[in-house]
């Protein structure tokens, strides 16, 4: 059977191709055959005003089409009849199928009815179940939401703001969009910002309170840290004392072995500068032992970080701490700096100890650069304050107290890594001023001590007095403790001055120590030399020249000087020990006795007084019979008086004066006696004298020489010989006058050996006085008829030769 699908038709070509009308008809036919839109043809026909032509063409096309249909039907008629027959046979089959389907439908309806009812019930139950599940899910969400809200309220009431924020964040993140209740959602959208704002305000208030509390805690913390630094320094000093004692014992007894155990630093401070174990009570970096807690700070930081406000909080923290530090720099003009300096420096120390802890445990709350900036500002201000305060101070002790505290501050903060060189430089710059003030104070104290001296030997009734006044300055001459009561050879001014000098040394070392300079012994020694040479020596000289009016006082001063000579050795050793210098190095650079002037003046004063006393006895030479016929067998009267005085003097002086001082004084006195006798022989008061008178003088010299030899129990043989040599000049003159060959003086060898101290002019003067007008200068001088003595001839020849030489 031919399909009825439309085919594309092509209109037949008209014979008159030139006619436009036929061309239009051809185009219209083609469009209709091809199923195209005829709208353009219709519009064109009406536009040209020829719709009838279009209708004519359409009718023509219809007639031509009908003829074609008719031809097609004729061509396919048989096929159509066969198709109708097929349809009729098919229709019977359809009826049977329809009947079968009807029966099947009835059966299906009878069976599916109950099933459909059950299905409807199932669908309804499923919908109910789905609704219940949705309701349960909503209820679960609400329950969890309520639990979080309850937990947030609990944390808020317990001021556990961080956990409250975590709950709020969880509500906002997990439940705000899922909340089925619109009312509940609106409530949450309103309350969540309010809760965050409330937490921020509360935390900010706690942080503000912490800023106030940490300032007080910083002061206590600084005082505690500096106090522990002072305790460590004290232990170090005690250890050094033990070491010095060991060195001293080793020096005194090389065979004794001395061992010293170093004490362990048992209370190392807090803070992480060394270790953080055992003392800390807060996991946040604070310390209950130290009295400060960083929990509010870290909580505020953490909560602001949770709120997304970390940068603002860090800036707020830094600015507030900077303002606090600036406030700490204020020095009250109403309170003396000496009273407020500990609080001032302790506050700053505590501030930076706290900042060090915050830097190490606070994460990125504050940067190292910001801490260094604060420290540079603080150092600059402290240096400025120190410069200003030091320039006003006129008391050495005040300056030392502040310096010690600043050095402890430097030691404390150096343990935390802060550079403190600038502070030490300021202390070093005022070294000279401090020592000038210290010298001035010591000068005043020494003047008061010397002014209170009664020039009496010091009485010590107890051993502790002996230890305090003798052993502590190493003034003892023996290691044996004397019996008490003990009368010392010096007066009370000696230990008083020793205490002043020792205090000067300790203060000087205390100022120089812990100032960044390791080897400062030379500086201490230089100022110690100034104290001894300028202050103490000058004060002693002034005392001797103005206050000594008797032999006993002069003797006591001389004894004091001898003791002070031993004390000066102790001073330099003590300075070396405190400065950490080995004693052998200090002894290697030992100088002469710094109180030489005072010692010389004291001994000159004592010798002068003794000479004046001796001169009183020497006035008895006026009673000597210079022309006596018999020499006095027991010496002249003056020498007996002198000897009695000298023996009394020695018996008294040996209890006070050291042997060397007594030797020097006796030597000076004996030399003066020798010069006095020589002066009498040379003076105009004696016009002439006999050999017997010279023999009497010889007896006098022998008595004096016997006196020097009798002192050998006090002096060594060499010292006793030196005493005897003090009479050498007058002894040589007497020996020459009594010699059988005076002319031997002209022999250089003999003169060098036996008369080296004699001046030939003095020999001439004295020899001429021995010349008797009756020519009885030598021998028995019995009469003019006696033959001239050869000794006289020799003496005359000597005088003649000496005059020729002169």
Cα 751 to Cα 732: distance, rounded to the nearest angstrom:
10
Distances (CA, A) of 798 to 341, 643, 735, 736, 749: 88, 34, 15, 11, 16
Q: Which residue has better confidence, 784 or 442?
A: 442
Least confident residue range of 94-98, 274-278, 638-642: 274-278
Cα 370 to Cα 318: distance, rounded to the nearest angstrom:
8
- Residue that has been written with the tokens 């008719």 in this structure: 70
pLDDT (0 to 100) of residue 459: 86
Examine the pLDDT at 618 and tell me if it is beyond 60. yes
Distances (CA, A) of 262 to 228, 243, 275, 458: 18, 10, 20, 40
pLDDT tens digit sequence for 436-455:
888 888 888 988 888 888 88
- Coil, strand or helix: which one is 418? coil
Q: What is the CA radius of gyration of the chain?
A: 66
Q: Where are the chain's structural domains?
A: 20-75, 79-180, 206-418, 431-594, 607-805
pLDDT (0 to 100) of residue 234: 82
Cα 634 to Cα 650: distance, rounded to the nearest angstrom:
22
Confidence of residue 588 (pLDDT cuts 50, 70, 90): low
Confidence of residue 792 (pLDDT cuts 50, 70, 90): low
Cα 529 to Cα 542: distance, rounded to the nearest angstrom:
18
- The CA-CA-CA angle for residues 189, 190, 195, to 5°, reads 100
Nearest CA to 232 out of 259, 261, 271, 262 is that of 262
pLDDT (0 to 100) of residue 430: 83
8 A C-beta contact, residue 360 and residue 272: yes
Percent of the chain with pLDDT over 70: 86
pLDDT tens digit sequence for 720-733:
778 888 888 888 88
- Coil, strand or helix: which one is 711? helix
pLDDT (0 to 100) of residue 513: 78
Q: What is the DSSP string of 702-725?
A: HHHHHHHHGGGGTS-HHHHHHHHH
Examine the pLDDT at 698 and tell me if it is beyond 80. yes
pLDDT (0 to 100) of residue 780: 43
8 A C-beta contact, residue 746 and residue 801: yes
Residue 801: count of CB within 10 angstroms of its CB: 15
Examine the pLDDT at 173 and tell me if it is beyond 50. yes
pLDDT (0 to 100) of residue 682: 82
Give Cα 128 distance to the centre of its chain. 83
Confidence of residue 590 (pLDDT cuts 50, 70, 90): low
8 A C-beta contact, residue 206 and residue 223: no
Examine the pLDDT at 787 and tell me if it is beyond 60. no
pLDDT tens digit sequence for 13-64:
444 445 677 777 777 778 778 777 777 877 777 888 777 777 887 888 888 8
pLDDT tens digit sequence for 187-213:
777 877 887 778 778 877 888 888 888
Q: Which residue has better confidence, 273 or 313?
A: 313
Least confident residue range of 265-269, 448-452, 690-694: 265-269
pLDDT tens digit sequence for 537-556:
888 888 888 888 888 888 88
pLDDT tens digit sequence for 630-675:
878 778 888 888 888 888 888 888 888 888 888 888 888 888 888 8
Q: Which residue has better confidence, 321 or 2?
A: 321
pLDDT tens digit sequence for 469-527:
888 888 887 778 888 888 888 888 888 899 998 988 888 888 887 765 667 778 888 88
Cα 381 to Cα 366: distance, rounded to the nearest angstrom:
22
pLDDT (0 to 100) of residue 275: 41
Confidence of residue 776 (pLDDT cuts 50, 70, 90): very low
Cis link prior to 485 (omega < 30° from 0)? yes
Cα 26 to Cα 421: distance, rounded to the nearest angstrom:
117
Cα 589 to Cα 702: distance, rounded to the nearest angstrom:
46
**Average pLDDT in the chain:** 78
Residue 287 has phi, psi (to 5 degrees) of: -140, 125
Examine the pLDDT at 773 and tell me if it is beyond 70. no
Examine the pLDDT at 119 and tell me if it is beyond 70. yes
pLDDT (0 to 100) of residue 272: 43
Confidence of residue 258 (pLDDT cuts 50, 70, 90): very low
Examine the pLDDT at 690 and tell me if it is beyond 70. yes
Distances (CA, A) of 696 to 635, 673, 701, 732: 6, 15, 9, 15
Token pair belonging to 590: 């030992």
CATH number of 431-594: 1.10.357.30
Same fold, 431-594 and 607-805: no
Least confident residue range of 57-61, 224-228, 245-249, 280-284: 280-284
Per CATH, domain 607-805 is 1.20.58: yes
Confidence of residue 591 (pLDDT cuts 50, 70, 90): low
């Amino acid at each position: 059977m031919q399909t009825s699908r439309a085919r594309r038709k092509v209109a037949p070509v008209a014979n008159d191709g030139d006619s436009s009308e036929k061309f239009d008809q051809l185009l219209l036919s083609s469009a209709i055959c091809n199923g195209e839109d005829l709208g353009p043809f219709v519009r064109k026909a009406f536009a040209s005003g020829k719709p009838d032509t279009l209708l004519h063409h359409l009718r023509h096309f219809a007639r031509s089409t009908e003829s074609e249909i008719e031809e097609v039907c004729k061509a396919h008629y048989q096929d159509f009849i066969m198709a109708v027959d097929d349809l009729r046979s098919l229709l019977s089959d359809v009826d049977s199928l329809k009947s079968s389907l009807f029966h099947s439908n009835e059966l299906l309806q009878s069976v599916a009815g109950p099933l459909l009812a059950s299905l409807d019930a199932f669908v309804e139950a499923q919908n109910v179940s789905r609704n219940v599940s949705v309701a349960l899910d909503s209820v679960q969400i609400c329950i969890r939401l309520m639990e979080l809200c309850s937990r947030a309220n609990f944390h808020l009431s317990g001021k556990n703001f961080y956990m409250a924020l975590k709950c709020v964040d969880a509500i906002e993140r997990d439940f705000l969009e899922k909340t089925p209740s619109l009312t509940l959602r609106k409530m949450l959208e309103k309350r969540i910002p309010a809760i965050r704002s409330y937490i921020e305000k509360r935390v900010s208030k706690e942080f503000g309170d912490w800023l106030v509390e940490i300032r007080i805690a910083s002061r206590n913390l600084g005082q505690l840290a500096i106090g522990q630094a002072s305790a460590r320094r004290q232990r170090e000093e005690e250890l050094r004392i033990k070491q010095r004692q060991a060195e001293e014992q080793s020096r005194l007894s090389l065979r004794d072995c001395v061992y010293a155990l170093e004490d362990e630093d048992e209370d190392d401070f807090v803070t992480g500068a060394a270790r953080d174990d055992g003392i800390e009570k807060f996991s946040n970096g604070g310390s209950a032992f130290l009295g400060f807690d960083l929990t509010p700070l870290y909580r505020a930081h953490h909560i602001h970080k949770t709120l997304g406000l970390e940068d603002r909080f860090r800036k707020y923290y830094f600015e507030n701490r900077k303002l606090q530090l600036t406030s700490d720099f204020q020095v009250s003009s109403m309170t003396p700096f000496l009273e407020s300096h500990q609080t001032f420096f302790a506050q700053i120390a505590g501030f930076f100890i706290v900042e060090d802890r915050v830097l190490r445990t606070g994460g990125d709350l504050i940067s190292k650069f910001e801490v260094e900036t604060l420290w540079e500002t603080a150092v600059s201000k402290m240096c400025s304050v120190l410069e200003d305060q030091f320039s006003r101070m006129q008391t050495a002790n005040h300056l030392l107290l502040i310096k010690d505290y600043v050095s402890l501050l430097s030691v404390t903060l150096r343990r935390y890594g802060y550079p403190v060189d600038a502070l030490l430089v300021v202390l070093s710059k005022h070294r000279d001023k401090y020592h000038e003030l210290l010298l001035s104070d010591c000068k005043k104290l020494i003047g008061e001590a010397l002014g209170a001296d009664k020039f009496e030997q010091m009485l010590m009734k107890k051993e502790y007095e002996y230890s305090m006044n003798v052993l502590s300055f190493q003034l003892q001459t023996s290691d044996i403790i004397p019996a008490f009561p003990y009368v010392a050879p010096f007066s009370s001014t000696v230990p008083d001055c020793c205490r002043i000098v020792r205090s000067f040394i300790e203060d000087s070392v205390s100022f120089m120590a812990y100032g960044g300079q390791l080897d400062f012994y030379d500086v201490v020694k230089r100022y110690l030399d100034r104290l001894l040479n300028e202050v103490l020596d000058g004060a002693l000289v002034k005392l001797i020249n103005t206050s000594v009016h008797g032999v006993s006082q002069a003797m006591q001063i001389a004894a004091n000087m001898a003791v002070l000579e031993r004390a000066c050795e102790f001073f330099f050793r003590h300075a070396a020990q405190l400065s950490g210098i080995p004693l052998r190095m200090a002894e290697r650079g030992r100088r002469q006795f710094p109180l030489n002037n005072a010692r010389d003046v004291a001994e000159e004063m004592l010798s002068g007084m003794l000479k004046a006393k001796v001169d009183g006895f020497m006035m008895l030479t006026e009673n000597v019979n210079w022309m006596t016929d018999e020499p006095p067998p027991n010496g002249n009267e003056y020498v007996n008086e002198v000897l009695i005085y000298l023996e009394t003097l020695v018996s008294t002086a040996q209890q006070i004066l050291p042997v060397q001082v007594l030797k020097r004084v006796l030597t000076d006195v004996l030399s003066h006696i020798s010069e006095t006798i020589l002066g009498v022989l040379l003076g105009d008061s004696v016009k002439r004298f006999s050999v017997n008178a010279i023999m009497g003088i010889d007896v006098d010299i022998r008595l004096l020489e016997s006196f020097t030899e009798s002192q050998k129990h006090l002096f060594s043989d060499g010292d006793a010989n030196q005493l005897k040599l003090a009479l050498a000049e007058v002894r040589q003159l007497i020996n020459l006058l009594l010699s059988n060959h005076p002319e031997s003086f002209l022999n250089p060898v003999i003169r060098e050996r036996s008369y080296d101290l004699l001046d030939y002019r003095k020999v001439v003067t004295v020899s001429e006085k021995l010349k008797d007008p009756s020519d009885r200068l030598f021998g028995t001088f019995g009469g003019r008829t006696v033959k001239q003595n050869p000794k006289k001839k020799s003496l005359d020849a000597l005088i003649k030769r000496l005059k020729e030489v002169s």
